[in-house]
Amino acid sequence: MIDAHTHLNSEQLYPDRKLHLGDFEEAWWTWLITIWVNHLRNERALEIKQSYDWSVKVWASIWIHPGETTFGNCNSEEAAQEEIDKLIRLTYEHLGHLCAIGECGIDSHFERDSKIQAIQEKLFIAQCELAKDTKLPLVIHSRDNFELTYDVLSRYKQLKVYFHCRWYSPDEVQRLYDAFPELWIGFCGNLTYPKATQLRESFTHAKELWIKIVLETDAPYLSPQSLRGTQNAPQNVVVLYDRVKETYGIDKEVFIQHTKELYWW
């Protein structure tokens, strides 16, 4: 079984990474993708990937989260370029341990300043170019700015595009489906929240279009409703798989196959 997108390298989960990997293994889950969002987490992800010989297979996805322009080191054009140069080198040094580029994209939820938006766009384009050059899938984080995200991605329709933690409407799901031949959409524990009506409508529409859907925890964030208020962990993806099967009648093997196709296993 697979958690398609988690943050085992985060400040919340990293100190107990062995425990979380053990719990994940006990639950009969076998593949886990730990996502990089900044340089510190990049180094942690590599350490997890390289240092532990588990039956759980840990892969890493590399690059810079758009939130780093507001809350991290990429708050200027010069700083962003330094991170781009550094992480391009890191990508090629460790290419054999990587399964994707991202999560990356546009996030206007906390910041709509035009200068910050321009830096996010610069980082996003650099990551799209790297995905093109390495032939790796691109993991997208996009919030409150579908149009700019779509505008950048429309220049890279040849890429495998994975929209993580889908926030947008069924109409926007349709636009993505019409534009991108190789499209995956990921859903997290917030699919189970009582007020997440639009998210469930997007899931249903993606299902009707036969879009490749994958399931993810985004741990330590977005615990499923039955565990809400607690820190999320990779093993909790079993709750999401079971809930989706119960609600939509989709066997978990469908989502597992979609994830394998995304990451080329």
CB 54 within 8 A of CB 93: no
Greater pLDDT, 9 or 232: 232
Q: Which domains does the chain possess?
A: 2-263 (3.20.20.140)
pLDDT in tens, 210-247: 999 999 999 999 999 999 999 999 999 999 999 999 99
Instruction: Report the distance separating Cα 81 and Cα 137, nearest Å.
Output: 22
Banded model confidence at residue 56, pLDDT cuts 50, 70, 90: low
Contact 33, 9 (CB under 8 A): no
The pLDDT tens digits of the residues spanning 162-220 come to 999 977 899 999 999 999 999 999 999 999 999 999 999 999 999 999 999 999 999 99
Four-CA torsion 44, 218, 104, 206, nearest 10 degrees? 150
Residue whose tokens read 């939509």: 248
- Using CA atoms, how far apart are residues 231 and 236, in angstroms rounded to an integer? 10
> CA nearest 44: which of 5, 17, 73, 83?
17
pLDDT value of position 174: 97
pLDDT per position as a tens digit, 253-262: 999 999 999 9
The reported pLDDT for the residue numbered 105 is: 94
Separation of alpha carbons 37 and 49, rounded Å: 16
Distance separating alpha carbons of residues 38 and 20, to the nearest angstrom: 21
The span from the CA of 224 to the CA of 192, in Å, is: 6
Q: Which of 53-67, 88-102, 121-135 has the lowest mean pLDDT?
A: 53-67
The reported pLDDT for the residue numbered 39 is 64
| Per-residue pLDDT tens over the stretch 13-33 | 999 998 998 888 887 667 888
Q: How high is the mean pLDDT of the chain?
A: 90
Give the separation between CA 153 and CA 101, rounded to whole angstroms: 14
Over range 39-62, report the average pLDDT. 71
| Length, in residues, of the chain | 265
pLDDT of residue 18: 87
Whether residue 46 has pLDDT greater than 90: no
Q: What percent of the chain has pLDDT over 90?
A: 65
264 band by pLDDT with thresholds 50, 70 and 90: confident
